[in-house]
Structure 1
Amino acid sequence: MLLKALIKYARVSTVGQTLENQIESLQGYGCNKILKEIQSGAKSIRIALHGALEYLREGDKLIVTEIDRLARSVKDLHNVASQLEDRGIVLVFLKEQIDFSTPSGKLMFTMLGEIGEFERDLMNERTAEGRARAKKQGKHMGRPGKPRKNLEHALDLFGNREENKISVNDIVKMTVVPRSSIYANAKDR
């Protein structure tokens, strides 16, 4: 099969992460195009990936640094890999040294995908257990709250909003206390 185009795909999940390591890993493979994305793979639409999949033609090769950069579930991984295979496109994962065009590559791909999903499930389970334990111990979950004086000021304004002709939106802007906190604490006054 004559290789026509070599496409590279790099993705990180959040803005705080960097694509540098993936791009460095992809260097030296020559390519027609590198598609980069900062997007969670779990629940969002990955525009660059969809662009790559549309761009690829029979005989092309898609190179990805790691399996988990392409998909976040085994089902999604198999769907993408199957689509590419059906279209005559070669899929390669550098870190795992998997070339999906070979039988052993397909086997490794399936096993590593299952292991990756298992690891994510374990991590989510441990995180949930840690949150439950912290909550049980009375530890604050979530972002730190605003200083108590801000809340008191917001509640004073809220209590007198009609006579001062001030809206809840204005109170939120002035005190930087979330609307939900104002309403939740106003019940107790």
Structure 2
Amino acid sequence: MGMRVGYARVSSLGQKLDVQLDKLSDCDRIYHEKASAGSKKIRMELQKVLDFVREEDVFVVTKLDRLARSMVDLSIIVQRLEEKNVDLVVLDQGIDTTTIYGRLQFNILASIGEFERGLIRERSREGREKAISRGVQFGAKSKLKKEEVCQLVRDFEAPGCSKVEIAEHYGLSRSSVYRFHKEHCNDLC
């Protein structure tokens, strides 16, 4: 049988870990941190515990919101645990994937998370297609106007003209000079 490994998190410096640590007291090892779940900052202790757990270990948290930012985030964490054959126990919500009923309950939650990810991807694709149909251009805007691109192509093809000097003149990298030439050498300038 593996270890019981606990994880506790509070989101601000003013909050205390005491209640969570008491509930996790039967764990063989506990990781804890003070980090907001919604922040872009990486939760280092969570990464450490996910790296640490091994096959047949049980990963224990007090509540799902102490573990994940969203259903999508939870789904990613659970996938990592499943790949390592590690069970998950969420004490306050009665989720225990060491039992058949706990796995069923959790698989339902994971399915909802997967559905949510699919909806997000679909909405993003539809929004992008709609924007393109309205003429929205994605990506960085060109640093050069059409006349400058035409002049760059002529300079590029002029004998004895240094590509480095062209790049410096237009404020581009050498690779950009070559790319502009390749993309526009057949344009009627």
Shorter-chain TM-score tier: 0.5 to 0.7
Kept in 2, the 8 Å contact 1:150–1:175? The answer is: no
The alignment partner of 1:145 has SS state of coil
Secondary structure of 1:51 counterpart: helix
Spell out, residue by residue over 1:86-143, the C-alpha distance to the aligned partner (whole angstroms, 9 max, x if none): xxxxx23589763434554322211111011111111111111111121122211223
In the TM superposition, residue 153 of structure 1 has moved relative to its aligned partner by 6.5
Query: In structure 2, what is the equivalent of residue 163 of structure 1?
Result: 160
CA distance in 2, matches of 1:102, 1:22: 34
Using the TM superposition, give the Cα deviation of residue 163 of structure 1 relative to its aligned residue in structure 2, in angstroms: 1.2
Deviation by residue 1:31-57 (Cα, 9 ceiling, x = unmatched): 633599849xxxxxxx75762234x87
Residue 68 (1) aligns with residue 72 (2):
yes
Whole-Å separation in 1 of the counterparts to 2:148 and 2:16: 50
User: C-alpha root-mean-square deviation of aligned residues, in Å?
Assistant: 4.8
Give runs of aligned pairs for residues 2-151 of structure 1, distance below 5 A: 5-7=5-7, 21=11, 27-28=17-18, 29-30=20-21, 32-34=30-32, 38=42, 48=48, 51-54=51-54, 58=57, 61-63=59-61, 65-66=67-68, 68-72=72-76, 76=79, 79-80=82-83, 83-85=85-87, 91-93=88-90, 98-148=95-145, 151=149
| Structure 1 unaligned spans of 5+ | 11-19, 40-46, 86-90
Q: TM-score, normalised by structure 2?
A: 0.56
SS of 2:163's equivalent in the other structure is: coil
**What's the secondary structure of 2:76's corresponding residue?**
coil
- Residue 2 and residue 110 in structure 1: after superposition, are their counterparts in 2 closer, same or farther (change >3 A)? closer
Mapped partners of 1:25, 1:68: distance in 2: 26
Match of 1:183 in 2: 182
TM-score (norm 1): 0.56
Partner amino acid for 2:110? G
Shift of 1:27: 3.9
- Contact (CA 8 Å) 1:5, 1:32: kept in 2 or not? yes
Which amino acid in the other structure matches residue 84 of structure 1?
A: V
TM-aligned CA deviation for residue 65 of structure 1 = 1.0
CA distance 1:181–1:70, shift in 2 (3 Å): farther
How far is the alpha carbon of 1:2 from its aligned partner?
10
Quick one: which amino acid aligns to residue 68 of structure 1?
Answer: V
